[in-house]
Structure 1
Amino acid sequence: MAKSTGTQLAAVARTEFGKGAARRIRRAHQIPAVVYGHGQDPLHVTLPGHETMLLVKNPNALVDLQLDGGGTQLAVVKAVQVDPVRREIEHVDLVVVRKGERIEVQVPVRTIGEAAPQTVVSVEAGTLAVTAEATHLPEVIEVDVEGLEAGTLLTAGQLSLPSGVQLAGDPEAGVVNISAAPTAEDLDAELAEAEAEAGIEKDAPEAEASEESSKE
């Protein structure tokens, strides 16, 4: 699925910088951001908090900035800094784009369908590097694994990409791997190996313990 129009956000120029200023901005339910690219000087702005949080849930979100000095600016969300404890957005980086311009982005990979029974589907690459028009960036690359057997490895070059989207990375890179599901014996063997490496000794079964006692 691609986006053709950007979400409108009011962008107010900011002149205060530093941690104290950033805290004041966030207390006012706004988010500090910087807009750069195409050779222009970085533009430091504040964005509305709630609308921005909704926007950045979509990777490579396209935004139509409504500048307080008049005019608009198309940009793509490039990076989002999130507080690791409070999980609040601390800062957003946006890159200037133009209609018709092709840009390279990393797009999340998602599998659809069900592989063959007794198999495990592993996504080897969580994102895929592609190029597309800035106003038609895919939100996700879907990989159909329906009925695929164990031993199948899908490479980047084998994937079906949305119209207008081209692969930018290595076509031979593995993206999705289908392997045989482990048996109960495999799991027991892995557990025993892990316990041995950790120096864990299991108690002897009751039957063996009784036999050893009678010998004594």
Structure 2
Amino acid sequence: MSEAYVLTAEARERVGKGSARAIRRNGNIPAVIYGDNQPPLSITLPSKDVTLKIHAGGFMTTVAEIELDGKKHRVLPKSYDLDPVKDFVMHVDFLRVSAKTEVTVNIPVHFANEETCPGLKKGGVLNIVRHDVEVTCPAGDIPEFFTADLEGLGLGDAIKISSIALPDNVHPTITDRDFTIATIAAPAGLKSEEEEEAEAEAAPAEVEVIGEEKEEGGEE
């Protein structure tokens, strides 16, 4: 679980597109805090602080504390908008949470022991089906990432969600099947061990037969 961080906000009295543009011109970002059966709060946040948190990774899965007028609001980012041309942050929505709040989040998957994976050492390719997994869990116990161990996996093997150790209070939203996270795929043209062994055994036998035919022909 990532550690919570603090952002200092100011109240936003006016809303609308004109107000939002003025806020962004002053180096801030308009945002909203909602949820927990409380009225939504319209706020502004320093653009630099929010942008740094987004680029640092884990922004959508890390609980934050927003300090507003001396009061701290415990929140989880739910969405943010980027300018389609200049790619700067335009708006952020935050959900109020407590330690008991159940949230649905996407947790990234990291892969371990790629350098020792037998299938990859033979020329196989790690085919990632899911870069992250959607789960439900308490807001105070959101995992930073899941680890998929490739140790001992050969060509054609698959990593299922059941192969990943999940905390007891973290549950995948897909519950009707043991879905695939990644596979060790053989690249096109790569022969299997069985094919190579069969060809190695067959080659000497063919040479021996040809040699016998030539000897019989010489006797005649």
CA contact (8 A) 2:148 2:163 kept: no
| 1:159 has 2:164 as partner | yes
Q: Which structure has the larger Rg?
A: 2
Q: Which residue in the other structure is 1:65 paired with? A: 66
Out of 121, 130, 136, which is 1:131 matched to? Answer: 136
Q: Which residue in the other structure is 2:179 paired with? A: 173
1:75–1:128: structure 2 CA closer, same or farther, 3 Å change rule? Answer: same
TM-superposition CA deviations, 1:170-214 (whole Å, max 9, x none): 3522111211122389xxxxxxxxxxxxxxxxxxxxxxxxxxxxx
Give the Cα–Cα distance (whole angstroms) in 2 for the partners of residues 139 and 31 of structure 1.
26
User: Counterpart amino acid of 1:139?
Assistant: E
Alignment of 1:4-19 (within 5 A): 5-19=3-17
Larger helix fraction of residues = 2
CA contact (8 A) 1:7 1:55 kept: no
Alignment of 1:172-191 (within 5 A): 172-183=178-189
Give the Cα–Cα distance (whole angstroms) in 2 for the partners of residues 93 and 104 of structure 1.
15
CA contact (8 A) 1:60 1:137 kept: yes
Matched position secondary structure for 1:138: coil
CA contact (8 A) 1:153 1:174 kept: yes
Deviation at 1:17, TM superposition (A): 2.1
CA contact (8 A) 1:75 1:96 kept: yes
Deviation at 1:97, TM superposition (A): 0.4
User: Counterpart amino acid of 1:113?
Assistant: N
> What 5-or-longer segments of structure 1 have no aligned partner?
186-216
1:180–1:93: structure 2 CA closer, same or farther, 3 Å change rule? Answer: same
Alignment of 1:20-169 (within 5 A): 20-56=18-54, 57-58=57-58, 59-68=60-69, 70-114=70-114, 115=117, 116=119, 117=121, 118-162=123-167, 164-169=169-174
User: Counterpart amino acid of 2:62?
Assistant: A
1:97–1:119: structure 2 CA closer, same or farther, 3 Å change rule? Answer: same
> What 5-or-longer segments of structure 2 have no aligned partner?
192-220
Deviation at 1:160, TM superposition (A): 1.5
Deviation at 1:29, TM superposition (A): 1.4
Q: How does the TM-score come out when normalised to structure 2?
A: 0.74
Deviation at 1:20, TM superposition (A): 2.2
Q: How does the TM-score come out when normalised to structure 1?
A: 0.76
Deviation at 1:64, TM superposition (A): 0.4
Give the Cα–Cα distance (whole angstroms) in 2 for the partners of residues 81 and 140 of structure 1.
24
TM-superposition CA deviations, 1:67-112 (whole Å, max 9, x none): 12x3211000111211122110011111110024332211122222
Deviation at 1:135, TM superposition (A): 2.2
User: Counterpart amino acid of 1:16?
Assistant: R
> What percentage of aligned pairs have identical amino acids?
31
User: Counterpart amino acid of 1:104?
Assistant: T
Matched position secondary structure for 2:140: coil
Give the Cα–Cα distance (whole angstroms) in 2 for the partners of residues 121 and 74 of structure 1.
39
Deviation at 1:37, TM superposition (A): 1.2
Give the Cα–Cα distance (whole angstroms) in 1 for the partners of residues 167 and 128 of structure 2.
19
Runs of 4+ in 1 over 4 A off after TM superposition: none
Matched position secondary structure for 2:9: strand
CA contact (8 A) 1:79 1:92 kept: yes
1:113–1:162: structure 2 CA closer, same or farther, 3 Å change rule? Answer: farther
